Structure 1
Amino acid sequence: MHDKRNLEKKLFLRTLREAVSRAFSHGLLFSTILSLLLNTHFLSYYLAMTRTRTYDTNPEELYADGDVDEGIASTMTYLQTEGVLLRAEQNLLGEAFLVMASSAGVQQQQEVLLWLLEPLSKQWTQSEWQEAYLTDSTSLVRLCADTQFMWSVFHTVTFFEKALKRSGFRKGSMSSENSSKTNSPAEHPMVSHLSWMLPPLLKLLRAIHALWSPSVTQALPGEMRAAMLMSDVEKASLLGEGKTKLPKGALTFHDGSQFDISREAYSEPNEADIRNWLRGIRDSGYSILGLSATLGDSFFRCVDPHSVILALMENVQQMEFRHIKQLVHLALVPLVKFCPSDLWDAWLEKLLHPLFLHVWQALTSSWSSLLREGKAKVPDLHGVLAGSDLKVEVMEEKLLRDLTREICSLCSVLAAPGLNAAVPSLEQAGQVSQMDDSSVRDLAAFASTSMVGFVLNKKDLAIPILKICIEAFGWTDSEAMSKVTSLCGLVILLAISTDNVELREFVCKDLFSAIIQGLTLESNAIISAELVGLCREIFIYLSNRDPSPRQILLSLPCITLQDLLAFEEALSKTGSPKEQKQHMKSLLIMATGNKLKALATQKAVNVITNVTSK
């Protein structure tokens, strides 16, 4: 009995200390923490529990009495009413209680979430503020002039994001009543809250995105236009310069930068406040969509895809590179990963097509400018700085590379094994390729079982994605290139496994040629083995069905027909992929007159991909 009580005491002190230390580390006044915690029934409840009752050492016991929640709620409400507790501070304490509840089981999580989120939902779902502030971008300007409500919206969105992150199931946290229902898993505790949060949030994101539309931007007040430009802190971050030290009560953005959350106490928002508000809503809004997508059916089957697509893609062509990067990383990657396959048509085609179409054009233009003129010319710095300043060039190149890598990461997600389990292995595909065309499958057969198969069956979607893959071989960024190769590998597999002539011609001509061209760049040395492997797969399994691989090899400057025949004979004498790759590498080096820098023998390869030779 004594040991059990000691364990309970340790558990209580640990959870209480976690709540206090988390709040205190964010700059919450110690007097506020004490007044909050000591005026609740927390301590009296604990004393009553240890004196009169015996419990198993289970975190659920800390939340077994509704009076605890009521005491905390009434105290927090009182302190906020008295002006002692700001919304930002309330959010920090709320997050601390979410941390404790996450160890207490599903039912307790749901109760704590209801207590924390119900007051927010009542305000968030009111039609009056949505009609006043979310009808168009002009009304959003009025919202930014209403300081108190502006920060109220901000803290509602950011706290909902934290609630999604802090909630869910952990190993060992499922109660016995839920863990016994193996055929009917417990619903995520945040599912019931998505229906009231998402509709206004999507309207808000749509209105923010519209601010960058030229027709809207030119009509905005000067302060709002200035707030839409990149801050000095963001510029310094791009340049790798030291971060500005801010107060402890600072909110951290997804890229690591911060701003002071105590700004809500000021009467008039300035340019920096509006900029941070826009950025915080955008980042947290994207994060909420991405985290919601991880809930699977509970999100995808209960949310209108049109409203999500409209909010995210209506003005994607006006987005700056850093905004698209955040959109892809926080929202689109999870949406692709967790979308049920029977909903790919409803969700992904219209979501991904406008993105890839715009990004392909934007990246092509910026990379062409960078490689020819040494200046990337990205939209993020328009109106901020001009001229040939070296710092501008460095920032532009950093923004370009960041977006390029994020888009290529999205391409690698499309090729993830879990989303393409139905695609045969290379060995299986190779066996099919030895048969006549009547033995291979139609490409449409993979549309519902393979994400890459789905993409390739949607021609309008496939074209910009495949063009990005082709052009990435000429961009001097090995990190981006390494992410694209997995998608290229699956495209090759499907070309081998199907009877689609158009796909086969693309792989044998465009892709094969682009890979060889990519080997001329020293920046691709780190992935040269993978690129040679792709060349081998195309030649071994497709050259008997399409003449392009042979024609491309024979077009290289230092090869003869006899060389090619000798190469084919060498391939026929070995079934070892490793030896075949070595034969392919030797042929490419010889055929190009040793011009493939990625294959050049070096004692030490040190490729710097963030600096472009001028």
Structure 2
Amino acid sequence: MLASCTTKRNSQMDVAPVEQDQGLMKINSSDCSGDGASCENETNYTDHGKQSNELGHARISVTGGGNFHQLLAEHTIISEAFLSAATYSWFEKEKDLLSSQLSSLKRIWSQPQWQACLKHLCCHGEFRSAVLKIIKIFEEELSKCREETNMLHQPDQISHSTLMSLVSLIIPPLLKLIRFVHALWTDGAVLRFPEELIEARKMKNVDQILRFRGETLEFLDVWPEELEEGLAQWLQLIRESGYNLLGLCATIKGAFSELLDNSSINNAIMENIRSMEIRHLTKLIDLVIVPFIKHCPHNLWVEWMLKLLLPLFDYCGDVLYYSWFSLVHNGQANVPLFFGYICGSEETVSKMENYLLLDLTRKVSKLLGALASQELNQGVYRAGLVLDMNSASHDFKCTPSTSLVGYILLNDCFTRLSMNLFGWWVDGEAAIDSIPFCHSLVQVAVATNNEKLKRFIKDDMLPAIIRRIYDDLPCAVQKTIRKLSPLMNSINCRKATKDLLVLCQEIYKVYIRCQNLEGEDQDTDNIAYWFDDWLTKQKKELCVKASYAIPDEFPATLWNWEFEEEFQRYLPTYLDVLHEVDTTDCQECCCLDSAKIFENLSLEFRSRHGVRSHTDHVVWMISNLLQRKMPGAYSEQRADRISKWTCELIKSKPYIKLSNGWNNAMNRLKENFVINVDTKPDAIDAVNIFYNSILLLWEPQFHPLIREGQMDVLVEIARQLAFAEERKNYEPLEPDSLDFLDHLQPYAELYIYRKKTESGYFTAIEQVQLHKEFDRYLASGVLDGDICKFSSFQHSFLDCFQGLISPKLLYHVITHPLWFCSLESCESCGSICCRT
């Protein structure tokens, strides 16, 4: 047990009560030395604890829980009373006393002003020391309880009922403290907390914290005494001890239903998880999440698992995706929320960054391995799957009672599965822990016939395995393995390679061999030979791809054969999504609402891409594409309305004439439509087209008296004018390189450019531009005089001219009318020739 501590009082507090407190609380350390403390001493300690507790209650009643100094005094008195009683008495014997003291602490922490004062209290050593010692006492008792579960009950061993009652009192204050400490790393913390707390977030003297053990570089979790920096060390230790206490609570029988509150736990550890520093995130996973996974009863999985795992994997997935991609392809990990919290040389910072990324990957892999344990996935294993797509039951339902892995996978716990989640199996230790999860993933994909999981296994996991086990392949993964070798254990790396080879063979049996021999008898004796032959071919193909020449249109400095291959694998999915968007009615999507978009997806598309909810990444992609399609769809709808209202004005009787006036047409629309025309710009545009383009130009020809016979012509003109006006700003939905991930955009640009060139797109653009220039030239009036001269020729000559002039010459005649005047008919052949 920890010995009780004597703390100094703040000089600003009341002198008389403080002196009395110190007199009561002071304990001679020599009285508690040795193992043979007498019962008399024990009784004295107990009396001392009771007196301190009574004094604490009196102190609270006098101060009334006032300002910061009063709260500090109250907390210190009761904390020391608890530490004294807990240190020098048996828990079981003084259960009521300890419960009373903890209840007093809990009551102090529940006061309204406590949260506001906490940021100042944490800057006082006596407060930090007392809180840490109390948590340490429970941490040690819970550790003993777990270690001695299979032993006979010892006289000084705490009972289950006593432990449950005391731990239930300390957990609420602990969760408040953890929540407070997490808030130090949130945005805006610099403005809300004292500078001392903000500065304590930084990790200094990192060069002395990194140590080599054998051939691997490691980070010292327990800092040497010479590096202890008070508040900074306390922030580190309070998190670790607090996390460990929560994790140990999970091992207590009945803890999830009687001791731990789901909402309180979730709020404390998940509220600011996206602001959490990586070194603390790894502790949270290792000390809290993994024990919760292992010990949570099956009947409470629905209540606990998704609430904990959804935000955790959402954040870890983002961190691992960004950091591993940057490390593998750019050589720098760039761990988020890393810079600014660590001080050291550039080389040391880079090493620490790589270590933290590896450590997070190992802890996430450990969590994945725990999720994939056979005890939590009995349903999948009992299904008797033989890894054969033809024989597996595709009607298998993954529920919490059958498979925890299947349950979280099919409930979109991983918004976007990526090999970065496993760190590309670069680290042997992480790979060994995560491979069981990969096996379970294959099992679930076969059992449920989920297309999304199957595509991930075939298009992402399988190629990644081959890259990882092919040591001589010139790829980014092999380069990264060599770079990080000082941080990894070579024995683990070799074992991971063997395990990955087994996983590769399993995937081959399910998705490659079964498809190649569909409908044929499969000789199981030769499967090993077929696999070796297939794997050899795959390696050769990768070598060929790695040696591809760089396309002439592509910048040589940006070329990466692995990115090109990734783009080609993703392209069919993108084209399918593009087609689905093209057939989707924007009006039915209710302003790009994701739930509405999901409902309007075709069942075939959902099945093909494994889209199970509106939170799927594919739905997000479709939403972005629909946003680009929306202006064009709106333009078409607006043109329809303008055309409809213009036609109504044409047909409206009595017929509207130009002399009737603009307001007359607006009034007519108001009468015929149940709308407020004054707030509809479409109606104004319809009236403008009707007056300025229909009546003004066409009324002399289509007089109201004969308009009835020409009604179809006028209506068609109205439609064409309405659509022509809208088409000026209309942009059709087409592929865009920005729809792809950043590193794939150059390859998407090259693909789109090639397809447009092959289809004659750029030629058509050039022709349209020439037409526009020619129209502008005609509209300028430069040719008006020449046209008049040309029209003076006799019709007989034009009849003769028609059919004799070549298309090329006709072009010159149109563009150069004056040159036409020099043409004459040849007497010998009758063809048109130039007089000059």
1:36 aligns with 2:36: no
What does residue range 346-425 of structure 1 map to in structure 2 within 5 Å?
346-379=303-336, 381-383=338-340, 389-424=346-381
Asked if the contact 1:447–1:454 (Cα under 8 Å) also holds between the matched residues in 2, the reply is yes
Asked if the contact 2:277–2:337 (Cα under 8 Å) also holds between the matched residues in 1, the reply is yes
- 1 CA distance for matches of 2:106 and 2:316? 35
Q: Which residue of 1 aligns with 2:449?
A: 499
Q: Which residue of 1 aligns with 2:463?
A: 513
Asked if the contact 2:203–2:342 (Cα under 8 Å) also holds between the matched residues in 1, the reply is no
Give the fraction of aligned pairs with identical amino acids, expressed as a percent: 27
Q: TM-score, normalised by structure 2?
A: 0.50
- 1 CA distance for matches of 2:277 and 2:346? 20
Asked if the contact 1:432–1:497 (Cα under 8 Å) also holds between the matched residues in 2, the reply is no
2:509 to 540, 545, 569: 540
Q: Which deviates more, 318-327 or 216-225? A: 216-225
Q: Which residue of 1 aligns with 2:717?
A: none
Q: Cα gap change, 1:372/1:118 in structure 2, threshold over 3 Å: closer, same or farther?
A: same
> Structure 2: which amino acid aligns with 1:229?
K
1:440 aligns with 2:394: yes
Asked if the contact 1:421–1:450 (Cα under 8 Å) also holds between the matched residues in 2, the reply is yes
- 1 CA distance for matches of 2:270 and 2:36? 49
2:114 to 128, 133, 150: 133
1:212 aligns with 2:212: no
Asked if the contact 2:369–2:434 (Cα under 8 Å) also holds between the matched residues in 1, the reply is yes
Q: Which has the higher contact order (CA 8 A, sep 6+)?
A: 1
- CA deviations 1:307-364 (Å, max 9, x no partner) are 1111111111111110101111111111111111221121111211111111111122
Q: Cα gap change, 1:381/1:89 in structure 2, threshold over 3 Å: closer, same or farther?
A: farther
1:238 to 201, 206, 210: 210
- CA deviations 1:106-154 (Å, max 9, x no partner) are xxx6336x278436413321146643333xxx53322224443343223
1:255 aligns with 2:221: yes
2:169 to 181, 193, 196: 196
Q: Which deviates more, 140-149 or 530-539? A: 140-149
> Structure 2: which amino acid aligns with 1:454?
Y
How far the C-alpha of 1:525 sits from its partner, in A, is: 4.8
Asked if the contact 1:453–1:494 (Cα under 8 Å) also holds between the matched residues in 2, the reply is yes
- 2 CA distance for matches of 1:86 and 1:231? 34
> Structure 1: which amino acid aligns with 2:434?
V
- CA deviations 1:480-524 (Å, max 9, x no partner) are 222221100011112222333333333233322332233344546
- 2 CA distance for matches of 1:580 and 1:534? 16
Q: Secondary structure at the match of 1:422?
A: helix
Q: Which residue of 1 aligns with 2:150?
A: 171
- CA deviations 1:58-117 (Å, max 9, x no partner) are xxxxxxxxx785344336789999xxx99899969956x79xx7xxxxxxx6336x2784
Q: Secondary structure at the match of 1:154?
A: helix
- 1 CA distance for matches of 2:185 and 2:451? 42
- 2 CA distance for matches of 1:200 and 1:590? 61
How far the C-alpha of 1:576 sits from its partner, in A, is: 7.5
- 1 CA distance for matches of 2:353 and 2:345? 11
Q: Which residue of 2 aligns with 1:118?
A: 99
Q: Cα gap change, 1:577/1:310 in structure 2, threshold over 3 Å: closer, same or farther?
A: farther
Q: Which residue of 2 aligns with 1:457?
A: 410
> Structure 2: which amino acid aligns with 1:542?
Y
- 2 CA distance for matches of 1:450 and 1:515? 25
Asked if the contact 2:52–2:81 (Cα under 8 Å) also holds between the matched residues in 1, the reply is no
What does residue range 39-118 of structure 1 map to in structure 2 within 5 Å?
42-43=37-38, 69-74=42-47, 110-111=92-93, 114=95, 117-118=98-99
Asked if the contact 2:333–2:357 (Cα under 8 Å) also holds between the matched residues in 1, the reply is yes
Q: Cα gap change, 1:170/1:351 in structure 2, threshold over 3 Å: closer, same or farther?
A: closer
- 2 CA distance for matches of 1:93 and 1:256? 28
Asked if the contact 1:364–1:471 (Cα under 8 Å) also holds between the matched residues in 2, the reply is yes
What does residue range 267-278 of structure 1 map to in structure 2 within 5 Å?
272-278=229-235
What does residue range 548-563 of structure 1 map to in structure 2 within 5 Å?
none
Q: Cα gap change, 1:256/1:584 in structure 2, threshold over 3 Å: closer, same or farther?
A: farther
Q: Which has the larger radius of gyration?
A: 2
1:328 aligns with 2:285: yes
- CA deviations 1:384-419 (Å, max 9, x no partner) are 568982112111111111111111111111112221
Q: Cα gap change, 1:32/1:476 in structure 2, threshold over 3 Å: closer, same or farther?
A: same
How far the C-alpha of 1:214 sits from its partner, in A, is: 1.5
- CA deviations 1:543-596 (Å, max 9, x no partner) are 477x6xx6xxxxxxxxxxxxxx8xx99x94334776666455445445545999
Equivalenced residues, count: 475
- 2 CA distance for matches of 1:580 and 1:87? 70
> Structure 1: which amino acid aligns with 2:264?
S
- 1 CA distance for matches of 2:458 and 2:36? 72
Asked if the contact 1:205–1:312 (Cα under 8 Å) also holds between the matched residues in 2, the reply is yes
Q: Which residue of 2 aligns with 1:247?
A: none
Asked if the contact 2:247–2:291 (Cα under 8 Å) also holds between the matched residues in 1, the reply is yes
Gapped runs of 5+ residues in structure 1?
A: 1-18, 25-30, 46-66, 102-108, 177-185, 242-252, 264-271, 551-564, 597-614
Q: Cα gap change, 1:368/1:433 in structure 2, threshold over 3 Å: closer, same or farther?
A: closer
Q: Which residue of 2 aligns with 1:529?
A: 498
How far the C-alpha of 1:527 sits from its partner, in A, is: 2.0
Q: TM-score, normalised by structure 1?
A: 0.66
- 2 CA distance for matches of 1:485 and 1:292? 29
> Structure 2: which amino acid aligns with 1:211?
L
How large is the RMSD of aligned CA atoms in angstroms? 4.3
How far the C-alpha of 1:531 sits from its partner, in A, is: 1.8
Gapped runs of 5+ residues in structure 2?
A: 5-26, 56-76, 214-218, 471-476, 482-492, 547-836
- 2 CA distance for matches of 1:116 and 1:400? 46
Asked if the contact 2:138–2:167 (Cα under 8 Å) also holds between the matched residues in 1, the reply is no
1:303 aligns with 2:260: yes
> Structure 2: which amino acid aligns with 1:430?
V
